[in-house]
């Protein structure tokens, strides 16, 4: 292996050198090299070890498709080093081998291969059961490719971006560039997406002369590509995304693109798929040996990275392009051992003539039978004659070589159009799968259509580009005429192609019995024999073969093995390739990291307008959904006592808040809540329970009528988005004139409660707060401490109290003012924990804590909220039925003598029959009070219940009335 | 051992006959298990019809998690029985199903979900299923790769540890059942689509397929995703809404995780297969659909939430994303019953997101019902009429993501 002399078109910057470390050894490279090309230039031939047998593997595709060059680069596992630009100081480590890829002790596993035929693990280690329990961890330890142990600390910054375009072109080769230019010149806005670092596709690695179809001049391929790329990049109507992998075509005309650490969502109107194709290996024994390379990869090494991939080559070809590559190898100083031509009767060509002049063995009607060698190919056995197995009519000869260059079949990259709904069909004419029945907004062109010559590629690209542009808006005269001409030509040519002679069928030689392994799937080490055995076992179709052999399930996602598997399956089952089909194309088209998909790590934390006050007061904060709320400021019991005996204030800004306005606002609330609201008088409040159609409680809150057409609603903290959507939905489907607006963040809210609440509040407002003029369940808008406020007199905690809602910006001011005004009354701020105890004493339930997905108002002892006389409300039917049938379970209060945990079971006859939903220890009463679901028959006041308590059963007693102020005299006072 | 080197067909292929005692629709784990347990009871004149290839429905699309730590006294014994059958299934089917009984953790990131876990832990303990609540320190020791620090937005506060839970090779379960059922005389017909069902005097009489008509007295609807469409052919309306559910799998990595991790709060579950791939699943899509395609928002959300749990996985690459269709009943519990009005129409449907876990017990109980005409105690709570009797099973409360 050595570095070749400089040549135009190469990517290397010869004036500079970079150095990097590979498994501890220092290597040199030029900027422009990939890690893999630099390693190859440094003489490395074994790049990795295979998944199952730990066989040595070398560079194969040099296109980022195959699994052979996966390494750990700077802590990132499974990097495709053939695509990874080398950087000064890179730390490169081999994977999945010990101690090194060259000498891997685990390769001893292959000695046991006779014991590991396909599916062996399903047939062994069954009895005794302990065997598998012991074996599984061992197998587990051997699995996997990359290691996460050395992952580099802090994740980088990932980001998500959204873009829009009229025409998206996937693929920046000749076809894609032609499509983009044609569409842009016709006036469409275009985004061109290319996975490689620059435009040009396969032309980039062609140094030989190519005839420019437009000018007729012969220029080196890479120069032609650069010329077009310049035109594309200079066109103001085209945005070019290079180094960008279009990995999925999703519903809603969404192309997902991975670009470095960024995920781009590209919304388009029309998609041109010019994604090209990729070469895949041939099936013969030892086809995985290091030194066996694909022609496209060899061409890249020779022309882009200027590395000689071997010294003596056997070149397997099926067209004149392959012969030209053989000559390129010769020109690069590689000795040609043999040219194996799979065509039986190739027509004369200049390349064939030159090979003859050079005296190279050029075998016709031949195919490789076996690559031989230890740790690197040393010779290729070639059979000449009919392809079906090694028969007597064949001559077999062996040619020594250290490079087998496979100018192999190509498989179209039809994943994107398939994800958009195209159906794959095997086309005998082009001898490949094509995408039939594409949706109208997807235009396929180029290599993925089986097209090969540059003239047709350009024509198809332009046709697709113009069609896409025409679908966006009507074309102008010139462009319209051009499209008409191209359309006609395209139809005619396709018609001719259909009637034309089918290309030569790809032969799938049977592996010679007892011979070396012939690999169908490199990622998973699945051999041809494995496939044959699997078919015999009844796994006779692609999807079953995939699942049984695991072929196509590895990192190459089938790019190397899909067609080999299909070929082997077709051969074993006697079906055609069309009948055999291929497995579903699932996104992503190429592997995409979880980090890119996840994007920036952004989780909002919602803080109330009073948050800083709580922090300053030393509150212990707790997370409640997205919100932070004070758990307590000191001891919850003391806060509790303050509210019961004096006055307390709590920040309730997290309550969901909705405004419902409009002529039909009352009707809407009548529909979504179980209660009556259209008859609620302005200035009054009513408690509301919201049920689903199944009668299950979804939310509760207060509904205040501020004016005839204006309601102000509070919901539970976590349910606000749901309730807003729910009401919006019902307003729309019912045709109500009612507008629902979420204003949670616009208002700060506090609940001032306790026997002295009136005294404190009266100091800050001119409003008459006496019980006669501002009664329980009434609301007013007024000024509090000079601030416009909505005052709701309600009593969640069971004392005289007001919820005071003010514009968020006044929240902190109101808080300070209240604490100041109540200082002489012993006011204290209280937190969530005190509030929970206070409300539990009143037996006020919390939706989602005390209720669950089966709780209806009847069983929750809230039957009084159901107004069955209303013509309709959501859940009415189900609740009517439930009422008729009676309750099966009930939510009841209970007392026990010991502390119980929330979530423990209520037990009868060793069966869980209920559960504790809320429970608190009340120190001064020396008892635990709580809420629990119990069977209806155990729900009468005083009924004994048994609560599971740390393994033993604790007796409790049902307590029907509220634990505190059962008549509600205090909150009404 | 000798079987290792034999490659006999796992199941025989047969011409489709025009009469069978029992026709099972759907060759997934439920349909094949039903056929297998019927055959074990001596009822072998059974055809299992499959529209696609064997296991092409949800049996091959689920994330292969097994557990019995349910919430309700109805579900717990049923899934405990299913798990017990799974424990013996490799032996029973003479096929290694690669059951990795590695343990299962349901994480709680809020106080409310700890309470939810406690409900399950308590109910499990009372009914003899091994489950207990563990704290962050023990979780960290058990699964070092999990971020149990207080750094995440929603730190892990506790977990329900269910030692008998684990993962299995789901396809192998299908193949194993198909193999043994076939050995006992059951016919498995792939690529045989049921087009219609014919009734006579209120009883099932015929099954019309794309390969011909079959006379039979008993039909088992063991389909998932399309069970309401099959039921409609018998004139039966099921209280089922079907939602897609998506999952994805990464490239194989060296072992890092040997427990099933589920987070209902983060809508995600993660496990690592013995081959090294991370399998990540989402909750059901929020809208009903029969579309099997994958969506980007779900893929992004799976990745995002998986990284909240396992920040070190950010460089691990996703290879495939796929979807299945889940049949959701109003109470997230199955319908496994003979239809009260259409005689001979047996249903094993509505499994929501729990179908794979239930396969063996579902098949066994249904086989008993078909063979004896008596409903086994285990499936009595899952009868169809419970929706009319207002006797729903409280499994829905468990959480939307409970894999």
Burial call A790-806: b when 16+ CB within 10 Å, e when fewer: bbbbbbbbbbbbbbbbb
- The 10s digit of each residue's pLDDT in A223-254 is 999 999 999 999 999 999 999 999 999 999 99
Confidence tier at A510 by pLDDT (50, 70, 90) = low
The reported pLDDT for the residue numbered A11 is 96
Q: A854 to chain B: nearest residue by CA?
A: B394
Average pLDDT, chain A: 93
Of B52, B175, B318, the CB nearest to A594: B318
Q: B205 to chain A nearest CA, in Å?
A: 32
Are the C-beta atoms of residues A880 and B143 closer than 8 Å to each other? Answer: no
Average pLDDT over residues A729-744: 97
Among B17-21, B150-154, B234-238, B382-386, name the one with the lowest average pLDDT: B150-154
Give the pair of three-digit tokens for residue A254.
Answer: 């969404």
- The strand pair at B22-25 and B46-49 is best described as parallel
The reported pLDDT for the residue numbered A116 is 87
Q: How far is CA A931 from the centre of its chain?
A: 42
Same domain for B159 and B175? no
Alpha-carbon distance of A736 to A662, in angstroms, equals 9
Burial class for B336, CB neighbours closer than 10 Å (0-12, 13-18, 19+):
buried
Residues of B in contact with A584 (CB under 8 A): 322
B201 touches chain A (CB under 8 A): no
Q: Is residue B68 part of a domain?
A: no
Same domain for B200 and B319? no
Identify the residue among B32, B304, B321, B381 best suited for mutation to test binding to A, counting A beta carbons within 10 A and taking the highest: B304
B154 touches chain A (CB under 8 A): yes
Same domain for B265 and B322? yes
The reported pLDDT for the residue numbered A387 is 59
Q: Is pLDDT of A511 > 80?
A: no
Cα torsion for A587, A589, A590, A595, to the nearest 10°?
-40
Alpha-carbon distance of A325 to A309, in angstroms, equals 13
Same domain for B225 and B253? no
Identify the residue among A594, A622, A900 best suited for mutation to test binding to B, counting B beta carbons within 10 A and taking the highest: A594
Q: Is pLDDT of A167 > 90?
A: yes
B385 touches chain A (CB under 8 A): no
- Using the 3D structure, point to which of A367, A393, A408 is the last residue of a domain: A408
Q: B82 to chain A nearest CA, in Å?
A: 17
Average pLDDT over residues A769-777: 96
Residues of A in contact with B172 (CB under 8 A): 122
- Using the 3D structure, point to which of B313, B328, B343 is the last residue of a domain: B328
- Using the 3D structure, point to which of A564, A597, A630 is the last residue of a domain: A597
Same domain for B354 and B233? yes
Q: How far is CA A622 from CA A721, A838, B26, in A?
A: 21, 18, 49
A954 touches chain B (CB under 8 A): no
Q: Is residue B81 part of a domain?
A: no
Same domain for B390 and B350? yes
- The 10s digit of each residue's pLDDT in B61-83 is 999 999 999 999 999 999 999 99
Of A121, A265, A598, the CB nearest to B303: A598
Alpha-carbon distance of A18 to A86, in angstroms, equals 8
Domain with residue B273: its CATH number is 3.30.9.10
Dump the DSSP string for A147-204.
-STT--SS----EEEEEE-SEEEE--SHHHHHHHHHHHHTT--EEEE-SSSSS-GGGG
Taking an 8 Å cut-off on Cβ atoms, the answer to whether B115 and A849 are in contact is yes
For residue A706, the tally of other CB atoms under 10 A from its CB is 16
Q: Is residue B90 part of a domain?
A: no
Least Cα distance to A316 among A386, A374, A373, A365 occurs for A365
- Using the 3D structure, point to which of B307, B328, B349 is the last residue of a domain: B328
Q: Is residue B109 part of a domain?
A: yes
How crowded is the C-beta side of A648, counted as CA atoms within 13 Å?
27
The reported pLDDT for the residue numbered A150 is 58
Please give the helix or strand (H or E) that residue A432 lies within, else none. strand A432-436
Taking an 8 Å cut-off on Cβ atoms, the answer to whether B251 and A901 are in contact is no
Q: B399 to chain A: nearest residue by CA?
A: A853
Q: Is residue B178 part of a domain?
A: yes
- The 10s digit of each residue's pLDDT in A7-62 is 999 999 999 999 999 999 999 999 999 999 999 999 999 999 999 999 999 999 99
Which residues contact residue B180 at a Cβ distance below 8 angstroms, ignoring those fewer than 6 apart?
B36, B92, B93, B94, B95
Average pLDDT over residues A959-971: 94
Helix (H, G, I), strand (E, B) or coil at A429: coil
Q: B198 to chain A nearest CA, in Å?
A: 31
Residues of A in contact with B99 (CB under 8 A): 132
Q: B72 to chain A nearest CA, in Å?
A: 8
Confidence tier at A726 by pLDDT (50, 70, 90) = very high
Q: B349 to chain A nearest CA, in Å?
A: 21
Helix (H, G, I), strand (E, B) or coil at A133: helix
Give the pair of three-digit tokens for residue A935.
Answer: 């069977």
A481 touches chain B (CB under 8 A): no
Q: A919 to chain B: nearest residue by CA?
A: B115
Q: Is pLDDT of B46 > 80?
A: yes
Q: Is residue A49 part of a domain?
A: yes
Angle between helices A454-472 and A174-185 (to 10 degrees): 40
Taking an 8 Å cut-off on Cβ atoms, the answer to whether A77 and B315 are in contact is yes
Taking an 8 Å cut-off on Cβ atoms, the answer to whether B318 and A597 are in contact is yes
A867 touches chain B (CB under 8 A): no
Average pLDDT over residues A753-778: 96
The reported pLDDT for the residue numbered B349 is 98
Cα torsion for B24, B29, B35, B41, to the nearest 10°?
-150
Residues of B in contact with A148 (CB under 8 A): 145, 253-254, 256, 312-313, 315-316
The reported pLDDT for the residue numbered A512 is 60
Tell me, letter by letter, the H, E, C secondary structure of chain B: CHHHHCCCCCCCCCCCCCECCEEEECCCHHHHHHHHHHHHCCCCCEEEECCCCCCCCHHHCCCCEECCCCCCCCHHHHHHHHHHHHHHHHHHHCCCCCCECCCEEEEECCHHHHHHHHHHHHHHHHCCCCCEEECHHHHHHHCCCCCCCCCCCCCCCEEEEECCCEECCHHHHHHHHHHHHHHCCCEEECCCCEEEEEEECCEEEEEEECCEEEECCEEEECCCCCHHHHHHHCCCCCCCEEEEEEEEEECCECCCCCCEEEECCCCEEEEECCCCCEEEEEEECCCCCCCCCCCHHHHHHHHHHHHHHCHHHHHCEEEEEEEEEEEECCCCCCEEEECCCCECEEEEECCCCCHHHHHHHHHHHHHHHHHHCCCCHHHHHHCCCHHHHCCCCCCHHHCCCCC
Q: Is pLDDT of A497 > 80?
A: no
Residue B257: domain span: 100-163+241-328
Identify the residue among B189, B251, B266, B286 best suited for mutation to test binding to A, counting A beta carbons within 10 A and taking the highest: B251
> Any idea what the Cα angle at residue A125 is, between residues A120 and A130, rounded to 5°?
160
Q: Is residue B82 part of a domain?
A: no
B324 touches chain A (CB under 8 A): no
Same domain for A470 and A398? no
Alpha-carbon distance of A173 to A505, in angstroms, equals 27
Average pLDDT over residues A940-951: 90
Average pLDDT, chain B: 95
Same domain for B249 and B283? yes
Confidence tier at B400 by pLDDT (50, 70, 90) = very low
Same domain for A255 and A295? no
Residues of A in contact with B110 (CB under 8 A): 623, 625
| Beta bridge mates, A802 | A752
| Beta bridge mates, A93 | A72
Residues of A in contact with B258 (CB under 8 A): 137, 140
Angle between helices B29-40 and B355-372 (to 10 degrees): 30
Same domain for B257 and B324? yes
Please give the helix or strand (H or E) that residue A565 lies within, else none. helix A562-573
For residue A109, the tally of other CB atoms under 10 A from its CB is 18
A550 touches chain B (CB under 8 A): yes
Confidence tier at A344 by pLDDT (50, 70, 90) = confident
Of B153, B154, B304, the CB nearest to A598: B304
Alpha-carbon distance of A153 to A178, in angstroms, equals 44
Cα torsion for A174, A175, A177, A179, to the nearest 10°?
160
The reported pLDDT for the residue numbered A149 is 73
Same domain for A321 and A447? no
Confidence tier at B401 by pLDDT (50, 70, 90) = very low
Q: Is residue A602 part of a domain?
A: no
The reported pLDDT for the residue numbered A504 is 56
Handedness of CA A375, A378, A381, A382 (dihedral sign): positive
Domain with residue A760: its CATH number is 3.30.1360.120
The reported pLDDT for the residue numbered A435 is 87
Q: Is residue A506 part of a domain?
A: no
B285 touches chain A (CB under 8 A): no
Taking an 8 Å cut-off on Cβ atoms, the answer to whether B253 and A910 are in contact is no
Q: B178 to chain A: nearest residue by CA?
A: A538
B304 touches chain A (CB under 8 A): yes
Q: Is residue A153 part of a domain?
A: no
Q: Is pLDDT of A531 > 60?
A: yes
Average pLDDT over residues A455-468: 96
A621 touches chain B (CB under 8 A): no
Are the C-beta atoms of residues A417 and A444 closer than 8 Å to each other? Answer: yes
- Using the 3D structure, point to which of B328, B347, B370 is the last residue of a domain: B328
Q: B191 to chain A: nearest residue by CA?
A: A541
Are the C-beta atoms of residues A707 and A681 closer than 8 Å to each other? Answer: no
Burial call A48-71: b when 16+ CB within 10 Å, e when fewer: bbbbbbbbbbbbbbbbbbbbbbbb
Q: How far is CA A685 from the centre of its chain?
A: 46
Least Cα distance to A907 among A966, A947, A847, A962 occurs for A947
Confidence tier at A949 by pLDDT (50, 70, 90) = confident
Least Cα distance to B27 among B18, B36, B39 occurs for B36
Among A541-555, A941-955, B129-143, B250-264, name the one with the lowest average pLDDT: A941-955
A244 touches chain B (CB under 8 A): no
The reported pLDDT for the residue numbered A139 is 87
What ipTM was reported for this prediction?
Answer: 0.97
Same domain for A549 and A645? no
Q: How many domains does chain B have?
A: 2
Same domain for A383 and A344? yes
- Using the 3D structure, point to which of A84, A115, A143 is the last residue of a domain: A143
Could you tell me how many helices (H) and strands (E) chain A has, helices first?
25, 52
Are the C-beta atoms of residues B334 and A290 closer than 8 Å to each other? Answer: no
Taking an 8 Å cut-off on Cβ atoms, the answer to whether B171 and A888 are in contact is no
Highest mean pLDDT out of A334-348, A849-863, B169-183: B169-183
Are the C-beta atoms of residues A69 and A61 closer than 8 Å to each other? Answer: no
Q: Is residue B394 part of a domain?
A: yes
Same domain for A138 and A271? no
Domain with residue B361: its CATH number is 3.50.50.60
Q: Is pLDDT of A807 > 60?
A: yes
Cα torsion for A65, A71, A74, A75, to the nearest 10°?
100
Q: Is pLDDT of A371 > 50?
A: yes
Q: Is residue B3 part of a domain?
A: no
B126 touches chain A (CB under 8 A): yes
Same domain for A479 and A536? no
Are the C-beta atoms of residues B395 and B71 closer than 8 Å to each other? Answer: yes
Same domain for A632 and A654? yes
Domain with residue A5: its CATH number is 3.10.20.440
- The 10s digit of each residue's pLDDT in B335-363 is 999 999 999 999 999 999 999 999 999 99
B303 touches chain A (CB under 8 A): yes
Same domain for A270 and A288? no
A677 touches chain B (CB under 8 A): no
The reported pLDDT for the residue numbered B45 is 98
Of A543, A901, A903, the CB nearest to B116: A903
Alpha-carbon distance of A648 to A630, in angstroms, equals 14
Confidence tier at A505 by pLDDT (50, 70, 90) = low
Q: Is the peptide bond before B148 cis (omega within 30 degrees of 0)?
A: no
Q: A410 to chain B nearest CA, in Å?
A: 22
Same domain for B246 and B273? yes
Helix (H, G, I), strand (E, B) or coil at A253: coil
The reported pLDDT for the residue numbered B121 is 94
Identify the residue among B3, B70, B96 best suited for mutation to test binding to A, counting A beta carbons within 10 A and taking the highest: B96
Same domain for A118 and A226? no
Q: Is pLDDT of A436 > 90?
A: no
Same domain for A250 and A137? no
Taking an 8 Å cut-off on Cβ atoms, the answer to whether A144 and B391 are in contact is no
**pTM of the predicted model as reported, rounded to 2 decimal places:** 0.95
Residue A935: domain span: 888-973
Q: How many domains does chain A have?
A: 6
Same domain for B151 and B253? yes
Q: B120 to chain A: nearest residue by CA?
A: A903
Q: Is the peptide bond before A483 cis (omega within 30 degrees of 0)?
A: no
Alpha-carbon distance of A43 to A20, in angstroms, equals 15
Residues of A in contact with B318 (CB under 8 A): 588, 591-594, 597
Q: B291 to chain A: nearest residue by CA?
A: A251
Q: B312 to chain A nearest CA, in Å?
A: 7
Please give the helix or strand (H or E) that residue A303 lies within, else none. helix A295-303
Same domain for A234 and A136? no
Q: Is residue A541 part of a domain?
A: yes
Taking an 8 Å cut-off on Cβ atoms, the answer to whether B251 and A122 are in contact is no
Alpha-carbon distance of A802 to B326, in angstroms, equals 47
Same domain for B112 and B139? yes
Residues of B in contact with A419 (CB under 8 A): 293
Same domain for B306 and B247? yes
Looking only at Cα atoms, what is the longest distance across chain A? 116
Q: Is residue A679 part of a domain?
A: no
Q: Is pLDDT of A625 > 90?
A: no
């Amino acid at each position: 292996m050595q570095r070749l002399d400089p040549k135009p078109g190469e990517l290397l910057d010869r004036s500079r050198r970079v150095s990097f470390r590979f498994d501890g050894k220092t290597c040199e490279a030029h900027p422009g090299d990939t890690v893999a090309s630099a390693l190859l230039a440094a003489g490395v031939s074994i790049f990795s070890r295979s998944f199952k047998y730990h066989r040595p593997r070398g560079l194969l595709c040099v296109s980022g498709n195959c699994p052979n060059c996966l390494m750990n680069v700077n802590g990132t596992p499974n990097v495709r080093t053939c695509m990874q630009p080398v950087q000064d100081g890179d730390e490169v480590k081999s994977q999945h081998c010990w101690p090194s890829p060259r000498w891997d002790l685990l390769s001893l596993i292959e000695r046991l291969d006779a014991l590991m035929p396909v599916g062996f693990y399903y047939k062994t280690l069954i009895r005794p059961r302990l065997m598998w329990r012991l074996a599984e961890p061992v197998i587990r330890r051997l699995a996997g490719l990359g290691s996460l142990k050395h992952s580099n600390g802090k994740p980088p910054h990932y980001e998500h971006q959204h873009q829009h375009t009229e025409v998206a072109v996937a693929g920046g080769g000749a076809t894609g560039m032609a499509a983009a230019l044609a569409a842009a010149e016709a006036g469409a806005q275009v985004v061109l997406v290319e996975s490689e670092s620059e435009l040009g596709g396969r032309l980039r690695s062609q140094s030989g002369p190519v005839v420019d179809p437009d000018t007729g001049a012969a220029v080196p391929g890479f120069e032609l590509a650069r010329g077009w790329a310049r035109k594309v990049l200079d066109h103001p109507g085209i945005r070019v995304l290079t180094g960008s992998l279009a990995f999925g075509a999703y519903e809603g005309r969404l192309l997902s693109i991975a670009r470095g650490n960024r995920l781009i969502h590209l919304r388009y109107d029309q998609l041109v798929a010019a994604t090209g194709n990729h070469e895949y290996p041939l099936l013969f024994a030892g086809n995985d040996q290091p030194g066996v390379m694909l022609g496209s990869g060899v061409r890249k090494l020779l022309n882009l990275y200027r590395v000689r991939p071997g010294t003596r080559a056997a070149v397997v070809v099926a067209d004149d392009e392959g012969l030209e590559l053989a000559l390129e190898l010769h020109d690069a100083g590689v000795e040609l051992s043999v040219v194996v031509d799979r065509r039986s009767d190739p027509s004369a060509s200049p390349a064939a003539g030159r090979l003859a002049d050079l005296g190279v063995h050029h075998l016709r009607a031949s195919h490789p039978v076996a690559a031989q060698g230890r740790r690197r190919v040393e010779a290729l056995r070639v059979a000449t004659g009919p392809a079906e197995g090694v028969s007597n009519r064949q001559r077999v000869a062996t040619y020594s070589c250290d490079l087998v260059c496979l100018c192999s079949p190509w498989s179209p990259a039809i994943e994107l159009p398939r994800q958009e709904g195209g159906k794959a069909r095997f086309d005998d004419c082009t001898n490949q799968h094509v995408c039939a029945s594409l949706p109208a907004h997807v235009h396929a062109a180029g290599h993925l259509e089986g097209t090969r010559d540059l003239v047709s590629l350009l024509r198809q690209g332009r046709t697709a580009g113009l069609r896409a542009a025409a679908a966006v808006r009507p074309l102008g005269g010139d462009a319209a005429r051009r499209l008409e001409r191209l359309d006609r030509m395209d139809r005619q040519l396709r018609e001719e192609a259909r009637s034309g002679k089918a290309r030569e069928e790809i032969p799938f030689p049977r592996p010679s019995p007892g011979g070396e392994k012939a690999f169908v799937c490199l990622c998973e080490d699945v051999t041809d024999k494995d496939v044959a055995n699997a078919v015999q076992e009844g796994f006779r179709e692609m999807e079953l073969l995939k699942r049984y052999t695991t072929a196509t399930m590895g990192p190459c996602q089938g790019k190397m093995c899909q067609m080999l598997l299909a070929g082997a399956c077709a051969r074993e089952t006697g079906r055609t390739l069309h009948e055999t089909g291929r497995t579903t194309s699932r996104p992503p088209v190429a592997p995409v990291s979880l980090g890119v998909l996840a994007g920036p790590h952004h989780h909002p934390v919602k803080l109330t307008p009073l948050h800083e006050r709580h922090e300053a007061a030393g509150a212990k904060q707790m997370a409640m959904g997205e919100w932070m709320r004070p758990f307590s400021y000191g001891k919850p019991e003391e806060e509790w006592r303050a509210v019961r005996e004096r006055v307390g204030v709590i920040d309730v800004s997290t309550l969901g808040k909705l405004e419902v306005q409009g002529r039909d606002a009352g009707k809407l609330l009548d529909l979504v809540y179980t209660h009556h609201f259209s008859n609620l008088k302005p200035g009054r409040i009513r408690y509301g329970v919201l049920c689903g159609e199944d009668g299950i409680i979804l939310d509760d809150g207060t509904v205040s009528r501020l004016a005839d057409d204006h309601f102000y609603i509070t919901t539970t903290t976590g349910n606000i988005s749901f309730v807003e959507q729910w009401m919006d939905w019902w307003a729309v489907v019912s045709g109500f004139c009612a507008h629902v607006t979420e204003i949670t963040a616009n208002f700060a809210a506090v609940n001032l409660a306790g026997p002295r609440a009136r005294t404190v509040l009266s100091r800050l407002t001119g409003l008459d707060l006496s019980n006669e003029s501002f009664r329980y369940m009434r609301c007013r808008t007024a000024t509090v401490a000079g601030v416009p406020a909505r005052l709701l007199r309600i009593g969640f905690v069971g004392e005289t109290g007001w919820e005071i809602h003010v514009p968020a910006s006044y929240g902190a001011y109101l808080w300070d003012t209240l604490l100041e005004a109540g200082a002489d009354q012993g006011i204290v701020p209280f937190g969530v924990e005190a509030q929970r105890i206070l409300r539990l004493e009143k037996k006020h339930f919390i939706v989602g804590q005390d209720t669950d997905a089966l709780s209806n108002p009847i069983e929750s002892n809230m039957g009084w909220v159901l107004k069955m006389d209303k013509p309709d409300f959501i859940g009415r039917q189900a609740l009517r039925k439930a009422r008729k049938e009676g309750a099966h379970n009930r939510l009841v209060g209970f007392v026990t003598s010991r502390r119980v945990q929330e979530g423990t079971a209520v037990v009868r006859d060793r069966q869980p029959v209920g559960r504790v939903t809320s429970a608190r220890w009340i120190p001064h009463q020396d008892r635990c009070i709580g809420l629990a679901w119990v069977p209806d028959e155990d729900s009468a006041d005083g009924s004994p219940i048994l609560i599971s308590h740390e393994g033993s059963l604790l007796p409790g007693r049902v307590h029907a009335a509220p634990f505190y102020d059962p008549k509600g005299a205090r909150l009404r006072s | 051992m000798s079987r290792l080197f034999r490659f006999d067909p796992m199941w025989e292929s047969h011409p489709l006959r025009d009469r069978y005692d029992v026709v099972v629709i759907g060759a997934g784990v439920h349909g094949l298990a039903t056929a297998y347990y019927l055959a074990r009871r001596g009822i072998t004149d059974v055809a299992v019809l499959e529209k696609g290839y064997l296991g092409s429905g949800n049996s091959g699309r689920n994330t292969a998690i097994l557990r019995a730590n349910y919430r309700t006294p109805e579900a717990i014994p049923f899934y405990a029985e299913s798990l017990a059958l799974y424990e013996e299934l490799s032996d029973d089917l003479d096929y290694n199903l690669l059951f990795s009984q590695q343990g299962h953790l349901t994480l709680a990131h809020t106080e409310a979900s700890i309470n939810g876990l406690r409900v399950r832990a308590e109910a499990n303990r009372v009914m003899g299923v091994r489950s207990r609540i563990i704290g962050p320190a023990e979780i960290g020791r058990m699964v070092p790769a999990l971020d149990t620090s207080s750094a995440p937005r929603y730190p892990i506060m506790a977990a329900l540890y269910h030692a008998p839970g684990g993962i299995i090779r789901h396809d192998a379960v299908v193949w194993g059942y198909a193999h043994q059922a076939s050995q006992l005389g059951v016919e498995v017909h792939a690529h045989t689509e049921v087009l219609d069902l014919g009734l006579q005097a209120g009883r099932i009489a015929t099954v019309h397929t794309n390969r011909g008509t079959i006379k039979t007295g008993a039909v088992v609807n063991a389909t998932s995703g399309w069970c309401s469409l099959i039921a409609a052919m018998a004139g039966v309306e099921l209280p089922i809404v079907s939602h897609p559910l998506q999952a994805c799998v990464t490239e194989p990595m060296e072992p890092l995780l040997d427990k099933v991790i589920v987070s209902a709060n983060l809508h995600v579950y993660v496990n690592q297969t013995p081959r090294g791939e991370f399998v990540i699943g989402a909750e059901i899509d929020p809208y009903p659909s029969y579309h099997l395609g994958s969506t980007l928002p779900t893929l992004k959300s799976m990745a995002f939430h998986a990284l909240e749990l396992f920040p070190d996985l950010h460089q691990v690459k996703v290879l495939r994303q796929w979807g299945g269709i889940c049949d959701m009943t109003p109470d997230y519990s199955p319908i496994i019953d003979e239809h009260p009005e259409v005689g001979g129409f047996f249903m094993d449907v509505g499994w929501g997101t729990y179908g794979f876990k239930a396969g063996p017990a579902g098949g066994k109980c249904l086989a008993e019902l078909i063979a004896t005409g008596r409903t086994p105690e285990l499936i009595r709570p899952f009868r169809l009429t419970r929706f009319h009797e207002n006797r729903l099973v409280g499994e829905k409360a468990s959480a939307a993501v409970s894999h």
